[in-house]
Amino acid sequence: MNDTLTSDVVGRRVSVNGECATVRFYGTVPPVAGLWLGVEWDNPERGKHDGSHGGTVYFKCSHPTGGSFIRPHKANFGVDFLTALRDRYEDEPEDDAKKQIVTIGNIPVETIGFGSVIKKQSQLSELRDISLRSCAVSCAGDKGDIASTCPNIRVVNLSQNLLSAWEEVTDIAEQLRHLEVLDLSENKLRFPPGSPAPVGTFSALKVLVLNRTGITWAEVLHCAQGWPALEELYLKSNNISISERPADVLQLVRLLDLSSNQSIDENELFLIAYLPRLERLILADTGISALHFPDAGVGCKTAMFPSLQSLVLDDNRISQWSVINELDKLQSLHSLSCLRNPLTVGSGAKTHLQFIIAKIGQLRTLNRCEIRPEERRGAELDYRKAFGKEWKEAGGHQDPDQDRPSEAFLAAHPRYQALCRKYGAPEDGELKTQQPFLLKNQLLTLKINCPDRPDQKALEKQLPDSMTIQKVKGLLSRLLKVPVSDLLLAYESPKMPGREIELENDQQSLQFYSVENGDCLLVRW
């Protein structure tokens, strides 16, 4: 780039030795002769000042060391879309061919490396999925050239390029009529205050990634008028605050990623609570510590987030059980991830995860792990036992006519009564303080039946609750003279007559499956 520039370079994106920046100033900086660009670096550690020199403020930066002055010829102002496309997909030697899988949103995209494209897609017009990440794309180029050269493109990765304005994006998109997936992450974009993109520009777009673009919530809603078919929207790391409720936009969105936006609080979430199709909400690293659905009382379901099935709350500040209690009010929630929160780390983390399972009745997946039926049963029984003494002291009673736990207890344990109806109220014997360091307090007296072998005499054994299923099988193998590999174990409890619980994981203990005194082991082979 030479020194013959005009003032309209201000606001454009540039690359200098691999580092990206935005032009904030163009002109002279006395007493040094010649023209200069004042740039604000994406990485403020790359800069030297805040846009001031010799006591004169030439431009302003958001960081005190984010600015520098550079000569125009050192700045790369980028290339048009087709130049980058041809460089990547047409001109590469065949020996350099590689296949790469990149993920845009939740969609894996195979970007055929360059020699393979020559073989498989000899013409640019056949391209469907492309990745132009970090290719210095700054504009669409001549009008109509993209449409005539590569009209069949459906998936485009334009992340980490030199696009500086939303209008440049629409100039590209309006020539790609089949565009379904677009990743614009890490382009510092200016968004238009006026009319949205012309009708039809993004008519087929289903997935849009705008991570680290600097977009505001108001700009999202304004531009969303041009995204009528959008299903997935990624807005990570934009310092977004949700300032208003979507009205007639984003109505088909199924996935919304708001992670790493530290300005979001629980009250702002109410503004998106009635998106009718929203199934997955990602709120990781937003600083959330509280959550409350005021329209639903204890034990009731909220009308908010009616379709929400999956919620990600990783890396937040959740330390209170009241948040987990509130999540049970979500009528469709099946999957929860809450890794690296104060409530789920530390010495009690394993027990707390079991309590989360017990507190959210419809949960099927926790922290990306499936909750098996026996795990849920064990978690609910342990929870029922752990808080049984507190329940009784609060007015709980085995006799339903006398069972009146306090409002404070029910507020702290909204599902406890449901668990009592499911498994029976805890008996006095279960509420005695355990002494785990004494072996006699860990022994279970169990009946052993072989339901398929009526001639086999029933047995009774005392077994430690810490004994693994594998060791139980070894014991039974010796008693019954049957190979371990042939044995299948289950058990039934007097509290749940007629229902068998399979003991299918040899590495787990009897305690894991909540086997209790008086239960009956069922042995088959």
Query: Residue 438: its pLDDT value, please?
Result: 45
pLDDT at 118 over 70: no
Least confident of 68-77, 360-369, 439-448: 439-448
Express each pLDDT in 371-392 by its tens digit.
999 999 999 999 999 999 999 9
pLDDT at 352 over 70: yes
pLDDT confidence band for 200 (50 / 70 / 90): confident
Query: Residue 281: its pLDDT value, please?
Result: 98
Mean pLDDT calculated for residue range 263-280 = 95
pLDDT at 1 over 50: no
Please state, rounded to an integer, the average pLDDT across all residues of the chain: 90
Q: Report the first-to-last Cα separation within the chain, whole angstroms.
A: 81
Q: How far is Cα 217 from Cα 225, in angstroms, rounded to an integer?
A: 13
pLDDT at 441 over 70: no
What are the tokens at 259?
Answer: 């992670």
Query: Residue 228: its pLDDT value, please?
Result: 96
pLDDT confidence band for 107 (50 / 70 / 90): low
The highest-confidence range among 97-106, 329-338, 432-441, 467-476, by mean pLDDT, is: 329-338
pLDDT at 3 over 60: no
pLDDT at 436 over 70: no
Query: Residue 100: its pLDDT value, please?
Result: 64
pLDDT at 94 over 70: no
Question: Domains in the chain, start-ordered, CATH in brackets?
Answer: 12-74 (2.30.30.190), 80-253 (3.80.10.10), 374-423 (no CATH), 443-524 (3.10.20.90)
Query: Residue 252: its pLDDT value, please?
Result: 98
Least confident of 116-130, 168-182, 229-243, 283-297: 116-130
Query: Residue 192: its pLDDT value, please?
Result: 83
Predicted TM-score of the model (pTM): 0.78
pLDDT confidence band for 263 (50 / 70 / 90): confident
Alpha carbon 50 to chain centroid, angstroms: 36
Mean pLDDT calculated for residue range 422-448 = 72
Query: Residue 435: its pLDDT value, please?
Result: 47
Mean pLDDT calculated for residue range 444-470 = 90
Q: Could you please report the per-residue DSSP string of 66-117?
A: -EEEE-GGG-B--EEHHHHHHHHHTSS-GGG--EEEEEETTEEEEEE-HHHH
Q: How far is CA 405 from CA 182, 380, 413, 419, in A?
A: 55, 19, 10, 14
Mean pLDDT calculated for residue range 150-159 = 97
Query: Residue 172: its pLDDT value, please?
Result: 97
Tokens 């085995």 sit on residue: 398
Q: How far is Cα 61 from Cα 40, in angstroms, rounded to an integer?
A: 6
pLDDT confidence band for 91 (50 / 70 / 90): low
pLDDT confidence band for 10 (50 / 70 / 90): very high
Of 88, 52, 90, residue with least CA distance to 68: 52
What burial class does residue 306 get, using C-beta atoms within 10 Å of its C-beta: 0-12 exposed, 13-18 middle, 19+ buried? middle
Query: Residue 437: its pLDDT value, please?
Result: 41
Query: Residue 374: its pLDDT value, please?
Result: 92
